[in-house]
Amino acid sequence: MLTAYLVRHGQTAFNAEGRIQGWLDVPLDAVGQIQAQCVARRFIAKSIQAIYSSPLMRAADTARAISQACRLEVIFDERLREYHMGDWTGLTADEIRMTTPTAHLDDPEAPVPNGESAQHMRERVISFLRDLIARHDGEAVVLVSHGGTLGAMVGAMLGLPVMRRHPFAFGNASLTEAGYESGRWRLRSLNDRCHLQG
């Protein structure tokens, strides 16, 4: 069985303000740095064979904290980047809704202006998962990424329709666990943040 631990990066200033980051390389803020250390401690006693991460700074720094706990190098993969949000980068959800027709938001084939579509995001996530399954049968891996990417990933794992608004929440520094066995994924936990209490 392959076990995949999905970790969303720690908090950034844009997260705190409710602003879309997309591919903008925003660093962790002071809270996010603490969150990264907290989620890293969840892996100290686990046997982890690989750590993959988005190359964007907020995910990369969260992954590096985990890599210290596991004593493994981080493998960066472009397919774990957040949605490319194009012209929406830096905006809040309310600002996007004021300027974008609702039909556009619900169309998986429609790209964000100067960005990517939900369908394209799903395809790159599926490509990553296929490689993961081929490389890590019987192993446990950590994947550090972004809320939108993790939503697309869990949606792909469960065979849900492609849509921009995924029915999942991923808090900063949250941990989600999934297992792959006998040709199918099973979700074991979602958005676990107990390590951040207190």
pTM to 2 decimals? 0.92
Q: What is the total residue count of the chain?
A: 198
Instruction: Please indicate whether residue 136 is annotated as part of the active site.
Output: no
- Structure confidence by residue, pLDDT tens digits, 150-161: 999 999 999 998
Instruction: Please indicate whether residue 139 is annotated as part of the active site.
Output: no
Confidence of residue 166 (pLDDT cuts 50, 70, 90): low
Query: What are the tokens at 143?
Result: 């994947």
- The single-letter code of the amino acid at 45 is A
- Structure confidence by residue, pLDDT tens digits, 53-111: 999 999 999 999 999 999 999 999 999 999 998 888 999 888 888 877 654 555 666 77
Dihedral over Cα of 37, 43, 49, 52: its sign = negative
For residues 118-142, give the mean pLDDT.
96
* Domains along the sequence of the chain with CATH: 2-196 (3.40.50.1240)
Helical packing angle, 147-158 and 118-135, nearest 10°: 70
3-class state of residue 122 by DSSP? helix
Residue in 17, 82, 116, 123 annotated catalytic: 82
Closest CA to 161 of 191, 118, 124, 190: 118
Q: Could you identify the residue written with the tokens 């399954």? A: 133
Q: In angstroms, rounded to a whole number, what is the distance separating the alpha carbons of residues 181 and 197?
A: 32
